[in-house]
């Protein structure tokens, strides 16, 4: 089952890794293209050219001013001592400099003996403005840091894309485990059922399709386990029925000669003695009583070994329950009967067989409850199944008694044949249902008759029961 999970992960990697790589590559390519579209290189070149041009303009302007001074085209201005002091402090013979707030005038200072003359001319361009523009362009270029931004943005993009992809991969691994783990448990459960362990169950882990499959498996295992138990019971009944049929036949064949022989002995004794002998009469009565007891047992075994016809029809279970209770009340007036019946309690079963089942259960419950006891009969409907429960307030059943309760010839009450519950369960199985025991709510024993509300569910078990009864 791990292969399924690994396949899911592999498919996810194939389906997502290539698109993620293509997305990252496209983003980096667009970033590189945007870098090529931005005029940052041209701006760098222009700013450099402006700086060179400004320096060259200053040099050319100074030389032109010197030439014009030599040609006498520029009139000098003699500086006063306070103004000339700064030039004298520099120790220079002549100097060309820019003046003005915007550096838009060119000043040429030269010594003439003890005097300082100043030649001035306006600059064609305000050099301060030009310097400010060059400085702004340099700062813009420094702020852009094109190569660092590209590298940082690309790394961030790769980290984010990788993080999201890894998070999605982790979520997929988690979901794959959530999906494959129930399937793996379901596979193991199917393997156990295939190996014969019908008690195998799978814990439900969700409400999705996997959870529905797990529920279906558990229901299937329940049905298989119940079917196996029913089949085992039907098979055992078939063996007991064959034995009962043989025993009834042999005992019946022996009873008739015994009765006839005893009658002949009494008749001949009376003829010889001239009168009936009290001893022989008493002995004859004992033999007759025992023969009658044996005949009852033979009749019970014959009933157990018989193959009753099954005619399933729609029947009102509530009406049958009320009829059986009313029938048994007169036999057990000391017992209180209570009813708790559901509405529209309709089932598909053979009415005669169900009457026999309910009569047996209600009679047993009354005998277990004894004087002052309570017998409760309930009906309920769930999942196309109709359930009849019989509760009594008697002492209940031990674990050992429950394990052999439906076995033929096992009786836990005085004078019982041990065939009643076996016949009752066989009748329930022939009707497509079942008879089970459980802890009754009145503190005593509880019996549950399960019947189908759909005729289609009855055919299989009715056929199985008929085949078991006929020895096939």
The more confident residue out of 96 and 235 is 96
pLDDT at position 297: 67
The more confident residue out of 423 and 353 is 353
pLDDT averaged over every residue in the chain: 78
Residue 275 has pLDDT above 70, yes or no: no
Residue 390 has pLDDT above 90, yes or no: yes
User: Mean per-residue pLDDT for 462-470?
Assistant: 46
pLDDT for 25-47, tens place per residue?
Answer: 777 776 666 655 455 666 777 77
Between CA 190 and CA 215 the distance in angstroms is 13
Q: Which of 128-142, 239-253, 269-283 has the highest mean pLDDT?
A: 128-142
Dig out the tokens for 361 from the structure.
Answer: 């259960």
- pTM (2 d.p.): 0.49
pLDDT at position 450: 94
Q: Provide, rounded to the nearest whole percent, the portion of the chain with pLDDT above 90.
A: 20
Sign of CA dihedral 427, 429, 433, 436: positive
Contact between residue 234 and residue 464 where contact means Cβ atoms under 8 Å apart: yes
pLDDT for 121-145, tens place per residue?
Answer: 898 888 888 888 888 877 777 766 5
pLDDT for 2-29, tens place per residue?
Answer: 666 677 777 777 777 777 777 777 777 7
Residue 465 has pLDDT above 60, yes or no: no
pLDDT at position 338: 95
pLDDT at position 360: 92
Q: Which of 102-111, 178-187, 403-412 has the highest mean pLDDT?
A: 102-111
Between CA 472 and CA 463 the distance in angstroms is 11
Q: Provide, rounded to the nearest whole percent, the portion of the chain with pLDDT above 70.
A: 77
What is the band of 272 on the pLDDT scale with cuts at 50, 70, 90?
low
CA 109 to chain centre: 98
The more confident residue out of 274 and 127 is 127
End-to-end CA distance of the chain: 43
Between CA 56 and CA 65 the distance in angstroms is 14
User: Mean per-residue pLDDT for 418-432?
Assistant: 83
pLDDT at position 326: 92
Q: How many CA atoms lie within 13 A of 188 on its CB side?
A: 10
pLDDT at position 243: 67
What is the band of 118 on the pLDDT scale with cuts at 50, 70, 90?
confident
Helix (H) or strand (E) holding 361: helix 351-369
Residue 428 has pLDDT above 80, yes or no: yes
Q: Which of 41-55, 57-71, 278-292, 402-416 has the highest mean pLDDT?
A: 57-71
Per DSSP bridges, beta strands 105-112 and 336-340 are unpaired
Dig out the tokens for 11 from the structure.
Answer: 């498919």
Cβ count near 316 (within 10 Å): 14
Contact between residue 248 and residue 443 where contact means Cβ atoms under 8 Å apart: no
Residue 445 has pLDDT above 90, yes or no: yes
Between CA 431 and CA 386 the distance in angstroms is 12
Cβ count near 22 (within 10 Å): 10
Which phi and psi (to 5°) does residue 200 adopt? -70, 135
pLDDT at position 320: 95
pLDDT for 326-385, tens place per residue?
Answer: 989 888 999 999 999 999 899 999 999 999 999 999 999 999 999 999 999 999 999 889
pLDDT at position 336: 95
């Amino acid at each position: 089952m791990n292969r399924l999970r690994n396949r899911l992960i592999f498919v996810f990697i194939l389906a997502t890794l290539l698109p993620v790589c293509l997305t990252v590559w496209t983003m980096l390519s667009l970033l590189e293209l945007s870098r090529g579209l931005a005029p940052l290189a041209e701006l760098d070149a222009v700013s450099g050219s402006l700086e060179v041009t400004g320096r060259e303009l200053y040099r050319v302007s100074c030389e032109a001013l010197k030439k014009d001074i030599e040609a006498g085209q520029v009139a000098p201005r003699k500086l006063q001592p306070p103004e000339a002091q700064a030039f004298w402090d520099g120790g220079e013979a002549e100097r060309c400099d820019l003046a003005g707030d915007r550096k838009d005038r060119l000043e040429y200072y030269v010594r003439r003996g003890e005097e300082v003359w100043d030649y001035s001319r306006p600059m064609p361009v305000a050099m301060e403005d030009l310097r400010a523009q060059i400085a702004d362009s340099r700062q813009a270029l420094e702020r852009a840091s094109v190569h660092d931004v590209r590298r940082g943005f690309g790394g961030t993009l790769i980290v984010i894309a990788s993080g999201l992809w890894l998070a999605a991969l982790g979520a997929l691994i988690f979901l794959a485990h959530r999906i494959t783990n129930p399937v793996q448990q379901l596979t193991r459960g199917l393997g156990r059922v295939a190996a014969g362990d019908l008690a195998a169950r799978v814990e439900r882990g969700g409400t999705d399709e996997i959870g529905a499959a797990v529920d279906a498996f558990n229901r299937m295992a329940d049905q298989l386990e119940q079917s196996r138990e029913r089949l085992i019971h039907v098979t055992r009944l078939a063996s007991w029925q064959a034995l009962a049929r043989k025993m009834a036949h042999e005992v019946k064949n022996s009873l008739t000669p015994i009765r006839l022989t005893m009658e002949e002995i009494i008749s001949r004794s009376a003829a010889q003695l001239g009168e009936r002998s009290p001893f022989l009469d008493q002995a004859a009565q004992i033999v007759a009583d025992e023969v009658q007891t044996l005949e009852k047992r033979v009749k019970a075994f014959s009933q157990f070994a018989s193959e009753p016809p099954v005619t399933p029809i729609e029947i009102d279970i509530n009406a049958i329950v009320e009829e059986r209770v009313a029938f048994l009340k007169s036999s057990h007036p000391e017992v209180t009967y209570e009813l708790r019946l559901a509405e529209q309690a309709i089932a598909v079963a053979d009415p005669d067989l169900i009457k026999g089942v309910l009569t047996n259960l209600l009679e047993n419950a009354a005998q277990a409850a004894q004087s002052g006891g309570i017998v409760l009969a309930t009906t309920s409907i769930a999942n196309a199944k109709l359930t009849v429960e019989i509760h009594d307030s008697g002492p209940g059943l031990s674990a050992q008694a429950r394990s052999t309760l439906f076995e033929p010839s096992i009786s836990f009450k005085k004078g019982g044949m041990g065939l009643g519950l076996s016949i009752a369960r066989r009748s329930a199985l022939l009707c497509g249902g079942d008879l089970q025991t459980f802890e009754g709510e009145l503190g005593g024993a509880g019996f549950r008759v399960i019947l189908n509300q759909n005729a289609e569910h009855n055919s299989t078990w009715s056929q199985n029961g008929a085949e078991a009864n006929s020895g096939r």
